Amino acid sequence: MWLVLLLQLFALFSPSLTAIFPTKPVSSTVYTAGAPAEITWLEDGRRPLLNDTHGVRIDLYAGNTTYLATLARDLPALALKTTVYMPTNIPKNYHTYILRFIVSEPAMTIYTSDFAINPSPFTVRPRSSSTSRSSTSSASTSASASVSAQSVSTTTVTSTVISRVLPTSSAQGSNSRSLRGLFSLGRHRRRRSLGEGRNYIDIEKVKFRLVFIGWPALVGLSMAL
């Protein structure tokens, strides 16, 4: 009811009123960047009527003069409403925005009330340079620490393997003494076995002489007697 009275008052005191009267957005409207936004309007009852109005375009402005985007083109004036999408990137240094209904026939421009637009909740804020430098420094430090740890680990493993494969100097000396002892013991055993072999050969010679030389001689002597 109050809207009809308001339109009548405008019609009485302002003969230059146009057919399109925006009803949304109003001063209390808050849109969200990157989200759908409903826009509505009415016919004010004065000429030109909406059926004589063609080629409606809706532009978004920051403040009153800074153009941001065209939200809709070639709208039928008799539709009385439309749904558009607010731009994702909205300048942060503005607090109020307006819409302009720009009609090509007959040529005219209608302004809406000031309204607000909240930033998009899905917009990723860029990190500051100090944060980036800190992250890079931390990553470099971690990488250096990792490389150092790997180097120490490799050195330890290599030293362990080498120490296991190559004996120490004391162990080498002990092994050398053990080998010398084994060699001397082998030579002693070899000499003793050679001596025993010679003794065994002498006894065999004596037996051979007794059997094949001494015994026939004894038999011959006994027969001669």
How far apart, in Å, do the first and last CA atoms of the chain sit?
A: 182
Shared domain for 91 and 194, answered yes or no, is no
Give the residue numbers spanning the domain of 69. 2-118
H helices of the chain, in order, are 2-13, 129-165, 169-209, 215-224
Residue 61 pairs with which residues in a beta bridge?
A: 67, 98
The residue out of 118, 133, 158 marking a domain boundary is 118
For residue 156, the Cα-to-chain-centroid distance in whole angstroms is 32
Q: Please state the rounded mean pLDDT for residues 60-79.
A: 94
The answer to whether residue 163 is domain-embedded is no
Are residues 97 and 16 part of one domain?
yes
Instruction: Please check whether residues 112 and 18 belong to one and the same domain.
Output: yes
Q: Identify the residue with better confidence: 19 or 167.
A: 19
Instruction: Let me know whether 95 and 194 are in one domain.
Output: no
d(CA 37, CA 80): 14
Q: What is the arithmetic mean of pLDDT over 68-95?
A: 93
pLDDT on residue 16: 44
pLDDT tens digits, residue range 133-181? 555 555 556 555 555 555 545 555 445 544 454 455 554 555 556 556 5
Phi (first) and psi of residue 57, to 5 degrees: -120, 145
Query: Are 96 and 9 found together in one domain?
Result: yes
Mean pLDDT for all residues in the chain:
73
Residue 165: what residue type? V
- Name the phi and psi angles at 33, rounded to 5: -60, 135
Phi/psi at 194 (5° precision): -65, -40
Number of Cβ within a 10 Å radius of residue 25: 22
Average pLDDT rounded to a whole number, residues 110-117: 96
Instruction: Tell me, yes or no, whether 114 and 190 share the same domain.
Output: no
- Asked whether 20 and 112 are in contact (CB, 8 A), the reply is no
Of 118, 144, 174, the residue at which a domain comes to its end is 118
Residue 83 pLDDT greater than 90, yes or no: yes
